[in-house]
Amino acid sequence: MSSFLPMGPKILVLTPEIIVFGGSVVTSIIGLSRSKTLRKSVPLLAAITLLASLVALAMGYSHESAEQAGVLMPHFNKIIKAIILVVGIGLVAISVGHIDRRMEEAVARGATTFDPMRVVRGEFYSFMLLSICGAMLIPGSPDLIWLFLALELTSLPTYIMVAMSRGTRRAQEAAVKYFFLGAMSTAIFLYGFALIYGSTGSLQLSTIREVFADQSARGGIDTLGITGLILCILGFCYKLAAAPMHFYAPDVYEGAANPVTGFLSFIPKIAGFSALAVLLSTVGWSSHAGFSETGAPINGLPAPILATLWMICALTMTLGNIGALLQKSVKRMLAYSSISHSGYMVLAIIAGPGLGFEALLFYLISYGVTNLAIFGALSGLQKRGEDVESFEELSGIGRRYPGLAAWLAIGSGSLMGMPPLLGFWAKLMLFMAGVQAGHTPLVIIAAINSAVSVWYYLRLIGVPSLSPPGTSSEGVTKGPSSWPRFAGAVASVAVILLPLFASRILGNSAEFAPTNAKPTSATTPTAPVATPKQTTENSRQETPRQDNTQIALHSSPTRL
């Protein structure tokens, strides 16, 4: 058993999570208050909690203490937490006014009296905070147990949130689908954990990394470990909504209320990507990858893992996009779009630390903020107390609510990667990372996919602003609270303005390497620069370069 970690730095590092957890307890209680003002302050409280947590993160987090606490990737950890908290505040804002909407309206009308048994607002925000707390815990996990628990802490509240987000049958159906399939995926990655444990004999991620390094130095990670990793990746795919575990997403996103959909499309995703990053950091990447002499990519990931991720990446992008093309419901469309974005981000995971992680984080920021803009606009609308879901209902709302249409348009533009919006820069970095890692074919697939995606994003731009208002869109009015719209507005402005600060947000890419990893980030040029003259003369038949400093280039097939 590896050494016990000192408690002090650990708590220091975990302060933000602790604050969030505390907040969740408080909100769950306050939500039951008879005072309307207090009840109404629940989202505010949740937001304040997240803000406090953010402050704590900004003030208290240091790389040293994080390293002491066993955090594998301190900088990554910090930024992921920050993203979760910032976007979390926005997610809280867009959900204001949704939960208990009927109940509160009835109370306001005097039709009924307040009944603590029939309200869920407190619980809802409490679960939200819990889920956020779980997601925050993931990137810093030092061992598999922590990782497992954090993942479950992220997921379990979301199941309930889906069910309680609105009282319709669809929400309940979504919840049950989400829950059962989630349980299955949990079992899959749990089994994967078991296999990894069996292969390495440790639950500590740092130890696992050493063992894997040792194994690959001796010919490759053994079959048990590889199988475990692949199972884990597949299990995590559920959180990412990545193929082949993405099938639930359209149904669940459609069934849940708009703000919850917004939540689902971001928090589990970032949790999944953090988990993937943390887990894969045990098998390592080469932080600098390029071409070998033959043009074959050099990448530190073991070949089977790479193959898995490659396939997942390509499939997810493609299935997401082609699925989205056919949708009539905005939320289903956004679900597929969310799937495809997971696909893009897997590319960043493949590219690995350094540029890849930087691209991943930037992409997550971009996706989170853009998501807020879109769901802010969607949540800011209602039709007879119900969510607005289909394109028909959005048709021509730009005439009445130009702002909301604009946010939808800006958000869509960013998602499709239209320069100069945030999404473009994210995609740019992603492609840079992909090309640098030697996965140009994957980048080309991604590029084609983003072109395909234009078709449905254009609908989201065009239908609200360009189509004439139809019968379905006549009853659409503004939602009860202006906070979602406000959040959408802020997010839209951020989508436009954030690129200006991109450099400052990300800091230095060198910090993204796992701290305990071997220094593989030497940026030596790999391929000798071939001048056109040389290349026309000879036909470049050098043998592939064997690079022993890289971890686990090849695994022996005989060990499968």
End-to-end CA distance of the chain: 28
Query: Could you say whether residue 551 binds another protein (CB under 8 A)?
Result: no
Q: Which amino acid is at 278?
A: V
Side-chain half-sphere exposure of 155, counting CA atoms within 13 A: 23
Q: Which amino acid is at 513?
A: A
Beta bridge partners of 489: none
At a CB cut-off of 8 Å and minimum separation 6, what does 292 contact?
Answer: 298, 526, 527, 544, 545
Angstrom CA distances, 127 to 28, 52, 101, 405, stand at 8, 18, 18, 31
Q: Which of 65, 206, 509, 520 touches another protein by CB under 8 A? A: 509
Task: Work out how close the CB of 173 gets to another protein at its nearest, in angstroms, rounded to a whole number.
Answer: 4
Query: Could you say whether residue 337 binds another protein (CB under 8 A)?
Result: no
Q: Which of 18, 217, 325, 497 touches another protein by CB under 8 A? A: 325
Give the nearer residue to another protein in terms of CB position, either 26 or 319: 319
Query: Could you say whether residue 156 binds another protein (CB under 8 A)?
Result: yes
Q: Which of 71, 135, 213, 234 touches another protein by CB under 8 A? A: 234
Using CB under 8 A as the binding rule, the residues of this chain from 285 to 304 that contact another protein are: 290-291, 296-297, 299, 301-304
Task: Work out how close the CB of 320 gets to another protein at its nearest, in angstroms, rounded to a whole number.
Answer: 10
| Rounded Cα gap, residues 412 and 460, in angstroms | 7
Q: Exposed, middle or buried by CB within 10 Å (0-12, 13-18, 19+), for 140? A: buried
Residue recorded with tokens 């987090």: 61
**Piece of 104-112, 311-319, 338-346, 488-496 that binds another protein (CB under 8 A):** 311-319
Q: Which of 6, 385, 420, 475 touches another protein by CB under 8 A? A: 420
| Rounded Cα gap, residues 26 and 16, in angstroms | 15
Task: Work out how close the CB of 362 gets to another protein at its nearest, in angstroms, rounded to a whole number.
Answer: 9
Query: Could you say whether residue 86 binds another protein (CB under 8 A)?
Result: no
Give the nearer residue to another protein in terms of CB position, either 39 or 166: 166
Q: Which of 103, 245, 334, 372 touches another protein by CB under 8 A? A: 245
Residue 120 phi, psi dihedral angles, 5° rounding: -130, 5
Query: Could you say whether residue 450 binds another protein (CB under 8 A)?
Result: yes
Q: CB of 202 within 8 A of CB of 423?
A: no
Give the nearer residue to another protein in terms of CB position, either 243 or 372: 243
Binding mask 164-203 for another protein (x = CB under 8 A): -----xx-xxxxxx-xxx-xxxxxx-xx-xxx-xx--xxx
The token duo for 55 is 């402050």
Task: Work out how close the CB of 60 gets to another protein at its nearest, in angstroms, rounded to a whole number.
Answer: 27
Using CB under 8 A as the binding rule, the residues of this chain from 516 to 545 that contact another protein are: 523, 525-527, 529-536, 540
Query: Could you say whether residue 439 binds another protein (CB under 8 A)?
Result: yes
Side-chain half-sphere exposure of 320, counting CA atoms within 13 A: 35
Task: Work out how close the CB of 557 gets to another protein at its nearest, in angstroms, rounded to a whole number.
Answer: 5
